[in-house]
Amino acid sequence: MIRWIPLFFALLLLPALAASDDAARHERAPEPGDEQPGGDFTLQSSRGEFALKQFRGRVVLLYFGYTKCPDVCPTSLAVLAQALGELSDDDLKMVQGVFVSVDPDRDSFQVLDDYVSYFHPNLIGVTGTAAELAEVAALYGVEYGKVDLADSAFGYAVDHTSTTYLITPEGDLRFMFPHQTPSFVILEAIRYVLTADPSG
């Protein structure tokens, strides 16, 4: 039940999504050997334990990155924030943005909180130990790795997958938005999932 939304395809797909949920039934059936990304995980935030399971009933937008990212993370989070900013207050209560830092050595909870709140108050910053993060990343097919920067005060960068994941109120990974997906595509997907009949 997972759909990649490449840019060019999203533009064609979204009117269909908005019109009916037929699209959800026309996906390629999973084949043996397919790895289905997604799943529950537990990490930590400044508010204590963050368990994805606790967010059943809400649409979760999940992104992996790090606060010292020079441009990819800020762009992705700005786009996500723009989509969140278009939601009504009532809809926003049904949505949770989650930024997972894969750079726990530098991203303390304080640093994370300051960073995500700059983009949108709905966002929560979470992280964990290297082992915990590796496990969560594997679930979602996220790749990341340190790159030494000899001439930078930052010391190192972290190359990382820049996909935004949409998890339904039932806890299923439904959409994966590649980097540079426009905010209206994400917004329409959120609205689509919020209004979808879970029994349908």
The amino acid present at 24, given as its one-letter code, is A
Stretch that binds Ni ion, among 5-13, 30-38, 62-70, 98-106 (CB under 5 A): 62-70
Sequence-ordered list of residues with C-beta below 8 angstroms from that of 4, at least 6 positions apart, any chain = 176, 178
Q: Are strands 48-51 and 42-45 parallel, antiparallel or unpaired?
A: antiparallel
| Residue nearer to Ni ion on the CB measure, 38 or 65 | 65
Stretch that binds Ni ion, among 10-18, 34-42, 60-68, 99-107 (CB under 5 A): 60-68
Angle at 34 between CA 28 and CA 36, to 5 degrees: 85
Q: Which of 10, 38, 62, 65 binds Ni ion (CB under 5 A)?
A: 65
Q: Does 72 bind Ni ion (CB under 5 A)?
A: yes
Q: Which of 73, 111, 124, 189 binds Ni ion (CB under 5 A)?
A: 73
Q: Which of 69, 98, 112, 187 binds Ni ion (CB under 5 A)?
A: 69
Cβ proximity of 66 and 103 under 8 Å: yes
d(CA 80, CA 90): 18
- Please state the closest distance from residue 90 (CB atom) to Ni ion, in A: 31
Binding residues for Ni ion, total number by CB under 5 A: 4
Stretch that binds Ni ion, among 15-23, 48-56, 71-79, 141-149 (CB under 5 A): 71-79
Stretch that binds Ni ion, among 58-66, 129-137, 139-147, 172-180 (CB under 5 A): 58-66
| Residue nearer to Ni ion on the CB measure, 65 or 128 | 65
Q: Residues interacting with Ni ion, by CB under 5 A?
A: 65, 69, 72-73
